[in-house]
Amino acid sequence: MKICVLPGDGIGPEIVAEAVRVLQAMDLNIEMEEALLGGCAVDATGDPYPDATQKLAQAADAVLLGAVGGPQWDGNPREQRPERGLLGIRKQLGLFANLRPAILYPELANASTLKPEVVAGLDILIVRELTGDIYFGQPRGIEMRNGERFGLNTMHYTESEIRRILRVAFAAARKRSRKVCSVDKMNVLECTQLWRDVAIETGREYPDVELSHMLVDNAAMQLVKNPRQFDVMVTGNMFGDILSDEASMLTGSIGMLPSASLDANNKGLYEPCHGSAPDIAGKGVANPLATILSAAMMLRYTFADEDAARRIESAVKKVLAQGFRTGDIFEPGMKKVGTRQMGDAVLAAL
């Protein structure tokens, strides 16, 4: 198993180091090699996704990523921003299927800002399309028109792009509660009318899975009103970006949520849902669990080693049950630990 490790910016190197230690402790035949992506790559080479990183990422079976971005690069031209590196690797590797599970660990029920009875037992999988939509649509830009600045982006989807992500959602639902909610804005946007039409057609291939549809504004509301009505939610790139941040907070901390971005052959990029948290970078206090859980998703999806994935997930549950908490999920009475100590606790539990 060849893994390309991209620590990235901010807290990225700290949290990735813990996930790497966990993978090394698993007794698997893994080869890991590090490279630069994001702001650190811009600083070193002027390019957020340099050639050397591209070569390594393309040759690897899977990519483990920390996070990219930080205020020091916000003023850069767009091609030299860290986010461009992330979008570049997703697009180049064809990672169209982004899986973002939002699971509430019973031990963290009080960390959610919602009432425990609303979120207890929460287990949602957001399936976000990741290589299309307004994120990549042309034309785009800021230009002068009629003597004023004019900003432009383009939302588009082909039916094959919609169908392949819907199929990922239906297949995932078959391993869960067999419910898919497809999210669109068909009352206003033609592009998402097509999304709904193709969702309905694709649904006919999966008669055993219940398909429903929801407009994105209502979906945002339903997620806080009654999140447990959802099993699998599937949506486009931009709506998925927004709804997955919202869903993550139902669980109390975005610091707990892993993600997988897969191509058609289960090659994948695995990263925590959270960002680079520049405010706490280098302090050793960031929560490494989302990255460690991302490594578990890697073992499950790319390396088809369900057993190993579960060993990591059980270890994480165990350290939560033992009361170990980083600052983001801390409650009085628990044991407050830093990034490294949290990694130590997971290794001990393993």
User: Angle between the 82-92 and 51-59 helix axes, to the nearest 10 degrees?
Assistant: 40
Contacts to ligand IPM by CB under 6 A: 69, 83, 86-87, 241
83 binds Mg ion (CB under 5 A): no
Taking phi over 0 as left and psi of -120 to 50 as alpha, with beta for the rest, 333 belongs to: left
Q: Is 27 noted as a catalytic residue in this protein?
A: no
Nearer to ligand IPM, 172 or 260 (CB): 260
Closest separation in Å from C-beta 67 to ligand IPM: 8
Q: Total residues contacting Mg ion (rule CB under 5 A)? A: 1
86 interacts with, out of ligand IPM, Mg ion, none, CB within 5 to 8 A per kind: ligand IPM
For residue 241, give every residue at least 6 positions away whose Cβ sits within 8 Å of its Cβ, in sequence order, or none: 128
Closest separation in Å from C-beta 61 to ligand IPM: 21
How far apart are alpha carbons 178 and 314 in whole angstroms? 24
Residue number closest to Mg ion, CB atom:
241
Nearer to ligand IPM, 34 or 241 (CB): 241
Nearer to Mg ion, 241 or 344 (CB): 241
b/e code 34-66 from CB counts within 10 Å (16+ = b): ebbbbbbbbeeeebbbbeebbebbeebbbbbbb
Contact region with Mg ion (CB under 5 A), list: 103-111, 233-241, 252-260, 261-269: 233-241
Q: Is 267 noted as a catalytic residue in this protein?
A: no
241 binds Mg ion (CB under 5 A): yes
Contact region with Mg ion (CB under 5 A), list: 143-151, 154-162, 221-229, 238-246: 238-246
Closest separation in Å from C-beta 72 to ligand IPM: 15
Catalytic residue among 43, 61, 245, 344: 245
How far apart are alpha carbons 7 and 41 in whole angstroms? 11
Q: Is 61 noted as a catalytic residue in this protein?
A: no
Nearer to ligand IPM, 43 or 246 (CB): 246
Residue number closest to ligand IPM, CB atom:
83
Nearer to ligand IPM, 123 or 241 (CB): 241
Is the Cβ–Cβ distance between 315 and 350 less than 8 Å?
A: yes
83 interacts with, out of Mg ion, ligand IPM, none, CB within 5 to 8 A per kind: ligand IPM
43 interacts with, out of ligand IPM, Mg ion, none, CB within 5 to 8 A per kind: none
Q: In the block, which residue shows the tokens 């966990």? A: 22
Is the Cβ–Cβ distance between 301 and 269 less than 8 Å?
A: no
Q: Is 43 noted as a catalytic residue in this protein?
A: no
Q: In the block, which residue shows the tokens 């090394």? A: 24
Catalytic residue among 185, 231, 270, 328: 185
Output the DSSP codes for 250-279. Answer: HTS-GGG-EEEEE-TTS-EEEEESS---GG
Strands (E), 68-146: 97-103, 123-129, 141-145
Helices (H), the chain: 12-24, 39-45, 51-59, 82-92, 116-119, 159-174, 190-203, 216-225, 237-250, 289-301, 306-321, 339-349
Catalytic residue among 217, 279, 283, 335: 217
123 binds Mg ion (CB under 5 A): no
Q: Checking DSSP bridges between strand 324-325 and strand 179-184, what pairing results, if any?
A: unpaired
Catalytic residues, by residue number, are 135, 185, 217, 241, 245
